[in-house]
Amino acid sequence: MRSNLLKKNSITLVLYLCLGLAAVITIFPFIWMFFSTLKTEAEILKVPLQLFPTQFLLDNYAYVWKSLGIFPRYMFNSAFVTLSVVVLNVFFDSLAAFSFAKLKFKGKNFLFAFFMAALLVPAQVMYIELFRLMQAFHWTNTYMGLIIPGATSAFGIFLVWQYMKSIPDDFLEAARIEGASDFQVYWRVSLPLSVPALASLAIFQFINTWNDFLWPLIVTDTTEMRTLTVGIALMQSNNVTSWSWLMTGAFISVVPVLIFYIFAQRYFISGLTAGGIKG
């Protein structure tokens, strides 16, 4: 028994060490990026490399935020586009998921299979035709062109659909008996009970939209409409790259994602038994 306990403890210790090593490898680039924002250009390029700066400087933040001038505009564009896409995704994806999971209509299985087939097609493949569509609507270099193509996603529909299928039909039937319409059943019953799935969808969509680079680069052509990822890329030039400014811009862009993730995590477990029949 003592031998088995020792063996079990040894395996546990090895697993924790592996997990700790993986955590260090994962988080080290972010640590390096943060300390690089506090260094001068010479310190970043110094050989041998050193993690901590000799003097903690905030000049890079002041320069990137104020001297570049357009950086706050990049932040606003990314925040507005990302939040709009998240809200639209949560609403439309959950509405479609509810229809597929709880409603009966002709052709439902075929239509659902059609949506799921979209998961097999990389988004980049559709960018040429999507851009031509944006041109036809005169939405290039506009917020509509940045937001509308991401307003729904097959992945989001599938994610919420899986969760809504587990909601007991008795809840929905009780609401219908009391006179609730299909939309009221969705809004007052299914939606509150699906908060954990919706929070997961919001996190995924926030990260994907905030970090999206290719589509904003394609659909915008003026500095005022660029998002943060494109703006940071434009901080580089053909002749010289300021790594201190680049690291500072990249670190600033990471902070909202971390804040949103920490905030949304609270809602992963809530909503399991939330909601009600009457409202």
Distance CA 124, CA 214 (A): 8
How many Cβ atoms are within 10 Å of 57's Cβ, its own excluded? 15
Range 227-232 contact pairs with CB under 8 angstroms and sequence separation of 24 or more: 227/74, 227/77, 227/78, 227/81, 227/146, 228/74, 228/75, 228/77, 228/78, 228/253, 229/78, 229/253, 230/74, 231/70, 231/71, 231/74, 232/74
Quick one: pLDDT at residue 258? 84
3-state SS record for 147-210: HHHHCCCHHHHHHHHHHHHCCCHHHHHHHHHCCCCHHHHHHHHHHHHCHHHHHHHHHHHHHHHH
Q: What pTM, to 2 d.p., does this model score? A: 0.83
- Judged by phi (left if over 0) then psi (alpha if -120 to 50, else beta), residue 26 lies in alpha
Which candidate, 248, 242, 244, 199, places its Cα nearest to that of 228? 248
Quick one: pLDDT at residue 149? 92
Quick one: pLDDT at residue 234? 82
Quick one: pLDDT at residue 55? 82
Quick one: pLDDT at residue 274? 40
Quick one: pLDDT at residue 68? 66
> Which residue carries 């809530």 as its tokens?
270
Q: Exposed/middle/buried for 61, CB within 10 Å: 0-12, 13-18, 19+?
A: middle
**b/e sequence 233-256, b meaning 16+ C-beta within 10 Å:** eebeeeeeebebbbbbbbbbbeeb
Per-residue pLDDT of the chain (279 residues), as tens digits, is 667 767 777 888 889 999 999 988 988 888 888 998 888 888 888 888 888 888 888 888 888 887 667 888 999 999 999 999 999 999 999 999 999 999 888 888 898 988 888 888 888 888 999 999 999 999 999 999 999 999 999 999 998 998 899 888 888 888 888 888 889 999 988 988 888 888 888 888 998 999 999 999 999 988 889 999 998 888 776 566 778 888 888 898 888 888 887 777 776 555 343 433 333
Task: Answer for the pair 37, 244: CB distance below 8 angstroms, yes or no.
Answer: yes
Quick one: pLDDT at residue 22? 92
Angle between helices 243-265 and 195-211 (to 10 degrees): 170
CATH ID of 61-265, from 1.10.3720.10, 3.30.750.210, 2.40.110.10, 3.40.50.920:
1.10.3720.10
Token representation of residue 275: 């909601």
